[in-house]
Amino acid sequence: MAETKLFKYNESDLRMLDEIGSILRDGGIVGIPTETVYGLAANAFDGSAVAKIFRAKGRPQDNPLIVHISEISQLDKVVSSVPAGAYELAEKFWPGPLSIIMPKGERIPDEVSCGLETVAVRMPSHPAARAIISAAGVPLAAPSANLSGSPSPTTAQHVIDDMWGRADAIVDGGMCDVGVESTVVSLVGDKPRLLRPGGISLEQLESVLGEVEVDRAVLAELEPGQKAASPGMKYKHYSPKARVIIVKGSFENYKRFVSNKKGCAALCFDGEGSKLDIPFIEIGREHDSQTQAHLIFDALRKLDEMGVQTAYARCPDTDGVGLAVINRLLRAAAFTVLDVDGAMMIGFTGPTGAGKSTVAKLICEKYGFAHIDCDEIAREIMSPGSPILMQLAQAFGEDIINDDGSLDRALLASRAFASKEQTLLLNSITHPVITSIAIAKVNSFTLEGKMAVLLDAAAVFESKIDKLCTFTVAVTAPEDVRKERIIRRDGITEEKAEERINAQLSENEYEQKADIIIRNHLPYSIEKEIGKIIEAYKERKQ
Ligand code: TXA
Ligand code: MG
């Protein structure tokens, strides 16, 4: 563990600057403030110094770094040619939050470019960053100074939290102004291409370059195996430990949706939090993208300090700097976006033998609700040859795939349920896909004019599908009734029936977790019982 020296930046302290400069010249790595986010800097010409950055961050080896310069005269030392448009961009937006991808110069080692023929260059505007680059006397390669995968640091404290004992020094220059990382634009292809939105907006780029293509990865998830133009865009980024879900729609519907959600918090706009009944963090006024950018990473870190399990984020505007905010939020949310103005999502579950499917059918016929069978989605995504099946084989052993390419469910189950970690691993592979398919289906039911959708799954609570739902319903019946039903229905022995029943949550747990209980057994009238659902629906849809 390295000893980390902490400096409080003071522009008139030349001895301090000298010391920081020599740490960098000697191959050290230093956390430095910039106007976007804090960077973890090393001499860009020194491959072994740069390698330390990757180790300190736990950064994947194929994700190249941005080279920071303080004078335009340094550009020639880091690129082999300056493409058309680059000087115009520099003239207008440097120093500032813009990184330009250009052909790489000879002195830039592979450690910086990760084997690419190109290099990203930026001239930061933060006085401390510029003074430190000057003091070092060399361009500095610097990624954001967070541990790989966690939110970028916008205060010195964030850097201390992630890099203490990993960096040689950290320079405290106060809170970063912009708050999201620089815009990354590539000038090496046929057309200028926006790879990462940031402090300089698409509109600003186009005012200089004319039309700029927006890389698909800016707003959409890459398909498995698809190559990222900007390697950084393929990683799950900026994630707090809490699960983030972006919620589209009016504030009124948002408010009703998050109401009473236990263990959850709201990431909302100024003035909204006090109207909610769950803990909240406000990130600026509704249409103030600048402030939202400034606060977003700090807010994501605060969620974890609050010990929140799920955070519901209001959906920001997507123009101007807003494009950068939604880009970072989408990654933090693993692309989960709910539309609370659309069809209401109702979690629907119950233990085996309670008659869940029969009751679901009854409800959908009576009220015109749509039905999504999440267990069927789970089976479909594991069909022979599917990418999920490959991932499962990688995680749990190739022998879980039968000779005909199908999944050996029993073998997978025996391995995946052997320990808590293994179960989590299984869930981390399957749940995000099931979630995104289910949401896509709900969106198309919304377009068809459906008012509500039953999200039917055996494990609504275990899979955390309940967190996507406005409310949840459990269909129940006493254990002896259920046992008798499944023995009759599936022609199995009493012992087998008990085994199945014991593998699930108990009756009691369903009753505690679900918002509404439908008792599907005598002496209750099922007609009357399902009436509770339409009441709950109406209550939440005013
Ligand atoms: O604002 C910023 O840009 C901050 C501060 C410290 O300057 N730095 C930063 O660096 O955000 P980092 O490493 O976290 O993000 C760099 C992004 C990554 O997505 C990376 O894949 C992309 O830029 N990138 C770097 N060089 C590239 C290249 N030659 N071609 C394509 N993408 C590149
Ligand atoms: Mg980063």
Q: Which two tokens stand for residue 532?
A: 């509770």
Instruction: Kindly state the average pLDDT of the residues 116-120.
Output: 97
Q: Dump pLDDT digits (tens) for 518-527.
A: 999 999 999 9
Confidence of residue 392 (pLDDT cuts 50, 70, 90): very high
Cβ proximity of 32 and 132 under 8 Å: yes
| Helix segments in 58-118, DSSP class H | 75-78, 86-93, 110-113
Q: Dump pLDDT digits (tens) for 21-68.
A: 999 999 999 999 999 999 999 999 999 999 999 999 999 989 999 999
| Helix segments in 104-220, DSSP class H | 110-113, 127-136, 156-163, 202-209
Q: Up-side HSE of residue 117: CA atoms within 13 Å toward CB?
A: 6
- For the Cβ of 116 lying below 6 angstroms from any atom of ligand 1, the answer is yes
- For the Cβ of 196 lying below 6 angstroms from any atom of ligand 1, the answer is yes
Instruction: Kindly state the average pLDDT of the residues 411-435.
Output: 89
CA distances (Å), 203 to each of 196, 200, 367, 434, in order? Answer: 14, 8, 47, 36
- For the Cβ of 192 lying below 6 angstroms from any atom of ligand 1, the answer is no
Report pLDDT for 418.
Answer: 87
Q: Identity (one letter) of the amino acid at 183?
A: T
Tell me which of 34, 59, 65, 114 to substitute to probe ligand 1's pocket, judged by most ligand atoms within 8 Å of the beta carbon: 65
Report pLDDT for 228.
Answer: 72
Q: Which two tokens stand for residue 17?
A: 């600057």
Q: Which uninterrupted H or E stretch holds 194?
A: strand 193-196
CA distances (Å), 41 to each of 38, 162, 175, in order? Answer: 9, 15, 18
Cβ proximity of 240 and 311 under 8 Å: yes
Instruction: Kindly state the average pLDDT of the residues 112-130.
Output: 97
Instruction: Kindly state the average pLDDT of the residues 361-380.
Output: 95
Gap between the Cα atoms of 427 and 282, Å rounded? 31
Gap between the Cα atoms of 456 and 334, Å rounded? 22
Q: Dump pLDDT digits (tens) for 268-298.
A: 999 999 999 999 999 999 999 999 999 999 9
Name the closest-CA residue to atom 19, ligand 1.
232
Cβ proximity of 15 and 118 under 8 Å: no
Residue 67 Cα to ligand 1 midpoint, Å, equals 9
Q: Is the pLDDT of residue 230 over 80?
A: no
Q: Dump pLDDT digits (tens) for 145-177.
A: 999 989 999 999 999 999 999 999 999 999 999
Strand intervals (E) in 408-487: 452-456, 471-476
Report pLDDT for 445.
Answer: 98
The three-class DSSP label of residue 387 is helix
Cβ proximity of 455 and 468 under 8 Å: yes
Gap between the Cα atoms of 263 and 278, Å rounded? 9
Name the closest-CA residue to atom 7, ligand 1.
39
Q: Which two tokens stand for residue 366?
A: 């009576």
- The number of the ligand 1 atom at minimal distance from the alpha carbon of 182 is 1
Closest listed ligand to the CA of 152? 2
Q: Is the pLDDT of residue 235 over 70?
A: no
- For the Cβ of 231 lying below 6 angstroms from any atom of ligand 1, the answer is yes
Report pLDDT for 420.
Answer: 86
Gap between the Cα atoms of 433 and 244, Å rounded? 15
Residue 321 Cα to ligand 2 midpoint, Å, equals 17
Q: Is the pLDDT of residue 1 over 60?
A: no
Start and end residues for every CATH 3.40.50.11030 domain found in the chain: 243-327
Q: Which two tokens stand for residue 302?
A: 């605060």
Gap between the Cα atoms of 363 and 23, Å rounded? 69
- For the Cβ of 530 lying below 6 angstroms from any atom of ligand 1, the answer is no
Instruction: Kindly state the average pLDDT of the residues 204-232.
Output: 86
Instruction: Kindly state the average pLDDT of the residues 76-86.
Output: 97
- For the Cβ of 144 lying below 6 angstroms from any atom of ligand 1, the answer is yes
Q: Would you call the peptide bond into 384 cis, given omega within 30 degrees of 0 as the criterion? A: no
Name the closest-CA residue to atom 10, ligand 1.
143
pTM for the model: 0.92
Q: Is the pLDDT of residue 313 over 80?
A: yes
Q: Which two tokens stand for residue 518?
A: 């439908």
What sign does the CA torsion over 82, 86, 87, 93 have? negative
Q: Is the pLDDT of residue 504 over 90?
A: no
Judge residue 339's burial from the number of C-beta atoms within 10 Å of its C-beta, 0-12 exposed, 13-18 middle, 19 or more buried.
middle
CATH assignment, 243-327: 3.40.50.11030
Q: Which two tokens stand for residue 133?
A: 């680059």
Query: For 88-102, 226-240, 327-341, which range has the lowest pLDDT when averaged over its residues?
Result: 226-240
Query: Phi and psi at residue 194, in whole multiples of 5°?
Result: -85, 115
Residue 152 Cα to ligand 2 midpoint, Å, equals 6
Report pLDDT for 79.
Answer: 98
Q: Which residues of 391-420 are buried (b: 16+ CB within 10 A; e: fewer)?
A: bbeebbeeebbeeeeebeeeebeebbeeee
- For the chain, give the longest Cα–Cα distance: 86
Residue 232 Cα to ligand 1 midpoint, Å, equals 7
- The number of the ligand 1 atom at minimal distance from the alpha carbon of 145 is 6
Report pLDDT for 224.
Answer: 62
Closest listed ligand to the CA of 100? 1
Gap between the Cα atoms of 44 and 50, Å rounded? 7
Start and end residues for every CATH 3.90.870.10 domain found in the chain: 5-218
Sheet containing 243-248, strands listed edge to edge, beginning at the edge strand earlier in sequence:
280-282, 264-268, 310-314, 243-248, 337-339
What sign does the CA torsion over 438, 441, 446, 450 have? negative
Start and end residues for every CATH 3.40.50.300 domain found in the chain: 344-541
Helix axes of 14-25 and 127-136: crossing angle, nearest 10 degrees: 60
Report pLDDT for 500.
Answer: 85
Name the closest-CA residue to atom 21, ligand 1.
232
Average pLDDT over the chain, rounded to an integer:
94
Name residue, tokens 């009691």.
508
Work out the end-to-end distance of the chain between its first and last CA atoms, rounded to an integer number of angstroms.
58
CATH assignment, 344-541: 3.40.50.300
Name residue, tokens 């207008």.
92
Q: Is the pLDDT of residue 237 over 80?
A: no
Domain 5-218: give its CATH architecture. Answer: Alpha-Beta Complex (3.90)
Query: For 304-318, 389-403, 492-506, which range has the lowest pLDDT when averaged over its residues?
Result: 492-506
Cβ proximity of 343 and 445 under 8 Å: yes
Tell me which of 34, 79, 99 to substitute to probe ligand 1's pocket, judged by most ligand atoms within 8 Å of the beta carbon: 99
DSSP string for 284-344: S-TT-HHHHHHHHHHHHHHHHHTT-SEEEEEPPP-STTHHHHHHHHHHHTTT-EEETTSSE
- For the Cβ of 118 lying below 6 angstroms from any atom of ligand 1, the answer is yes
Cβ proximity of 299 and 330 under 8 Å: no
DSSP string for 340-380: TTSSEEEEEE--TTS-HHHHHHHHHHHH--EEEEHHHHHHH
Name residue, tokens 């900007």.
230
% of the chain residues with pLDDT over 70: 98
Residue 195 Cα to ligand 1 midpoint, Å, equals 10
Cβ proximity of 221 and 136 under 8 Å: no
Query: For 181-185, 317-321, 407-411, 499-503, which range has the lowest pLDDT when averaged over its residues?
Result: 499-503
The three-class DSSP label of residue 196 is strand
Residue 449 Cα to ligand 2 midpoint, Å, equals 41
Q: Dump pLDDT digits (tens) for 255-266.
A: 999 999 999 999
Name the closest-CA residue to atom 31, ligand 1.
230
